[in-house]
A and B are shown apart, each in its own frame.
Chain A
């Protein structure tokens, strides 16, 4: 049994390490692959959730002790408590409330709100540096020190769903006739699900960590076993898995394509529209963490559906024209991966200059910081006559909405040039190319 536990631990620590390193820019490919295996971000919009459900109905919740980074983080935190002794607890009713919330949220099209409680998202947001996110993971890890996988079996929406699929999983741990009721297994069960009075292990809460089998001195725990109740009830788990797998598609079919009400923020190219974005993004913040320009941040002012979704803040930075990083770290296909050429043809917003605020007009000084930074040539410096100082005018069809102008504008508190976001992204025109070489090789020196 030790081999199982050692292998599982190595895998879970490796997954945790690569996800963490990936947030700091190391091993981008493996980070993306691991994030696309996460259940929450891929539910209804990827393949990871299907693999997780399949694995769960066969092997139980091994996902929760290998793939989920928050699970491994809790185990490591709980490891600090050397003297820990877990006790069996009856199933918590809160789990069922959570389950109901999950179903209602997903059917009504607010499924991405579950990102607030999604374990992958919670883990990634913990690296954002923002206090509320750090506090949340601290609470969860603190609870783990005393109550093991308390979060996983009480609040976690992924745990609630996978728990239904694992209740009658094909393979599950069981206590056999060799048991002498010494109680060692109960003390190490981090899911508090070993009932020694009835000699049962609740597989809907068990994360298949293997600690019980490892510690049992008489070989009374068969970690990998096929129990008759499970064989009879397998169909129920299968149905539960199918139900939750199909659930995200219900709003897609039955709800009209409704855009969230109100204004929308500026969001990266590859999101296609605010409506599509809010239906995919779980607010994990991987894009925010990896953005080299540091222009993305969580938004809190764009309604319920917009809650915690990333948006551009052009006071902090601007979207570098050549950069496509965010599309390559998104697990939920909320930001589609683009090439720089594809990105250059996307208009996410348009800029407009309020001349009455512009330094060229208010101070009569040369500025043109906006035109200077514009990557597409959308800003022209024009004047009506020779006596008028040239001032910036935006050719909207060339603008991609990157915000370089707004960021560079030195006027405060209100910038003279501001980007207005588009709720549905449009196609940007490219500036007409000039002939390759003007071949005006001048003869001689002009001085």
Chain B
């Protein structure tokens, strides 16, 4: 081989290496969108959480479209409250169990869950049963109540320009947001975007400044890879913690989307309110976090 051939080979080899490096760093959802035409929203109803999840993720090409072998996964449930699963104030444990299992089967190096709880953290982690379900399924359960686990990040155009965020949200390769849909005394309802308040340290700052704006603006910083909204049993009144007088509906549904605004919009309709009346949804759309225009979207509705 002479020098010219060597240089050509090296150049092609280098370009190929750089190309594959760049391709592997791009968010998977872009890869998925380019290679196959997946729906914007997948909604599955009429079954148990495990069955709903399996059918729904299949419509997105399987969990392997989101989780590659060797990647670290953060599953962010709602486990903020020290009440049992029957209250549906926290994410359904069977759903979390199934999501964890599928991520591990896809070859994830690690799957973690945590929440910066509203109730005392041990009572929330224990009474929600999510700590024991996660550990049984092979996931790591991280504490959310230790301030040093949070790092300050900047949101340049945010209502709050500096927010302390949990290191797992910052470092995980894949983030799967699994909130429970329910009533909320402050914002009217809570689903995907509001669930991300659980990765933030100073929630009081949100309430002090402007709750709806801060919820929406956080998504400008970093969005989850996938959102799976638990609408299996929906608390209609008395949320977010619920009480003996709370009323419920049973849509027995899961809503999947990579667009957090779209997911929350569909969730709002399922909850029974106009999305335009939920301030953080309208803020998020106007700031470009995602789209609330369901009419123009490809929605796959599946009945089990």
Residue ranges of A at the interface with B (Cβ–Cβ < 8 Å)? 292-293, 317, 320-323, 359, 363, 365-369, 371-377, 379, 381, 408, 410-411, 430-434, 437-442, 445-447
Contacts and interface: CB of A to CB of B under 8 A. Distances in A.
A405 to B, nearest CB: 11
Given A374-B241, A445-B301, A367 B207 contact: yes
A408 B185 CA distance: 13
Interface string B239-256: 011011111111111000
B183 to A, nearest CB: 11
A320 B120 contact: yes
Given A292-B122, A366-B187, A445-B301, A431 B243 contact: yes
Interface in B104-122: 118-120, 122
Given A372-B241, A411-B208, 16 more contacts: A320-B82, A320-B120, A359-B208, A366-B187, A366-B212, A369-B204, A372-B184, A373-B119, A377-B244, A377-B245, A430-B244, A431-B243, A434-B244, A434-B245, A438-B249, A442-B250
Nearest to B121: A292
B238 interface: yes
B82 A322 contact: yes
14 contacts: A323-B123, A366-B211, A369-B204, A373-B118, A375-B243, A377-B243, A410-B204, A410-B207, A410-B208, A431-B245, A434-B246, A438-B236, A446-B272, A447-B270
Contacts of B83: 322
Given A369-B204, A441-B252, A431 B122 contact: no
A437 B270 contact: no
Given A323-B120, A434-B247, A446-B269, A373 B186 contact: no
Contacts of A292: 120, 122-123
Contact of A373 (B127, B241, B299): B241
Contacts of A408: 118, 204, 207
A120 B294 CA distance: 67
B123 A320 contact: yes
Given A322-B82, A410-B208, A372 B240 contact: yes
Contacts, number: 115
Nearest to B211: A366
Given A434-B246, A447-B266, A368 B186 contact: yes
Contacts of A368: 184-186
B250 A437 contact: yes
Contacts of A369: 186, 203-204, 207
A377 B209 CA distance: 25
